[in-house]
Copies of this chain bind each other. A is one copy, B any other.
Amino acid sequence: MSEPLNRQVVLAARPNGIPQAHDFEIVTRPMPMPGDGEVRVRNLFLSVEPAMRGWVSSVGNYSEPVAIGAVMRALTVGQIEASNLPGMAVGEYVTGMFGWQEYALANAQTIDRRVPPPGLPIATALGILGINGNAAYFGLLDIGQPKAGETVVVSTAAGAVGACVGQIANLQGCRTVGIAGGAVKTRLCTEIFGYAAAIDYKTADLDTALRAACPSGIDVYFDNTAGPITDAVLRHLNPRARVVICGTAAVASWDPPPLGPRIERHFLVKRARMEGFVVFDYKTRYPEALAALTQWVSAGQIRYREDILHGLEAAPDAIAGLYRGENLGKRLIQLGA
């Protein structure tokens, strides 16, 4: 009888820019056995984030880069199948940074939370009720501070974070305008996610389109792209506008930083504010967002989409696929049945 094994996706090379399939390797290791205070989690869904590009980059970031040869850092949701941790029972579902692998050890520190069945699928713990919903909630409300009647513009507006931002802004009484790439995504923006208008950055003249879509100017810009899209949006800021920098998907490499139009004078004249945002800083406040988002999602006031790949073999190319724009909604990898 053969030993049970654990397959893992490890980082094989250090990418500069977008990590590609060949930067990863699938290896087989012994099944991990939980020690005192530990549980073994069988991963059911692995998360795929645009932010993973930063997690494997050697360029200064908000966390240490994943080491070469280490399991790829990733949020997952799974089921406890062995427990030496009092209070955590076999069969319970948990979420945490358990990595791109079939099985993981976890303890009280590394388990983010239980995933009780809230009447919603457990995969929501990785998206709308996880990192994406949290990023939308705190980035928009804490940093963007939208007020009823204001105009909120979102880049990657149909994405897992962006779509949630637009809908939360609508719930605050704002006019929302989404920027996305292609006819399918812009249609999702207006038909599913409630944006008042959507702009296809691949075909539109951005200045003309923004002027038309934002007749009263822009008060809050939730930015997931940086680059030329952001340059265009900034030209339409209202006095006292707030810019939330949540992601920089449109810029392939920051080493060295590319050139763009200087913003100091414009920001002075407009008394505008730009602030960087990392969702993990809000960990202690996740319960607040979770409560609000669960209610909104359950009531049908916030809608979300998932893009589900199957099997660990899908992982190595999954980040590159995000940057090719091939997903519609939160990208997940489902393992097992």
Q: Give CA–CA (A204, B250) in the complex, Å.
A: 35
Whether A269 contacts B230 by the Cβ 8 Å rule is no
- Whether a CB of chain B sits under 8 angstroms from the CB of A10 is no
Residues of B within 8 A of A275 (CB): 267, 271-274
A307 to chain B, nearest CB (A): 24
Within 8 A of B (CB), among A218-258: 223, 226-227, 230, 239, 245-248, 251, 254, 256-258
Contacts of A271 in B (CB 8 A): 62, 275-278, 281
Partner of A259, one of B259, B264, B269, B274: B259
B-side contacts of A226, CB under 8 Å: 262, 264-265
User: In the complex, are the beta carbons of B276 and A273 less than 8 A apart?
Assistant: yes
Docked complex Cα distance between A257 and B265 (Å)? 8
Q: Are A267 and B251 in contact (CB under 8 A)?
A: no
A310 part of interface (Cβ distance < 8 Å): no
A263 within 8 Å of B (CB atoms): yes
Note all chain B residues with C-beta closer than 8 A to A265: 226, 248, 251, 254, 257
Complex Cα–Cα for A281 and B230 (A): 27
Residue from the list B60, B268, B281 in contact with A277, Cβ < 8 A: B268
Query: Are B273's CB and A263's CB within 8 A?
Result: no
Q: How many residues of chain A are within 8 Å of chain B by beta carbon?
A: 39
* Chain B residues whose CB sits within 8 angstroms of the CB of A54 once the complex forms: 269
Scoring A239, A254, A267, A276 by chain B CB atoms within 10 A of each residue's CB, the highest score goes to: A276
Among B267, B269, B276, which residue has its beta carbon within 8 angstroms of that of A269?
A: B276
Given the complex of chains A and B, what is the CA–CA distance between A20 and B168 in angstroms? 51
Beta-carbon contact of B268 and A262 below 8 Å: no
A95 to chain B, nearest CB (A): 24
- The answer, yes or no, to whether A261 is at the interface (CB within 8 Å) is yes
| Closest residue on chain B to residue A241 by CB atoms | B276
A23 to chain B, nearest CB (A): 20
In the complex, chain B residues whose CB is within 8 Å of the CB of A223: 264
Determine whether A61 belongs to the interface, using a CB cutoff of 8 Å to chain B: yes
Q: A300 at interface (Cβ–Cβ under 8 A)?
A: no
**Residues of A260-312 contacting chain B, CB below 8 A:** 260-278, 281
Q: In whole angstroms, what is the CA distance A333 to B259 when docked? A: 41
CA distance A266 to B254 in the complex (A): 9
Could you name 18 residue pairs across A and B whose Cβ atoms are closer than 8 Å? Answer: A54-B269, A223-B264, A226-B264, A245-B268, A246-B268, A251-B264, A254-B262, A254-B265, A256-B261, A257-B262, A257-B265, A259-B260, A259-B262, A260-B260, A260-B261, A269-B276, A271-B281, A272-B276
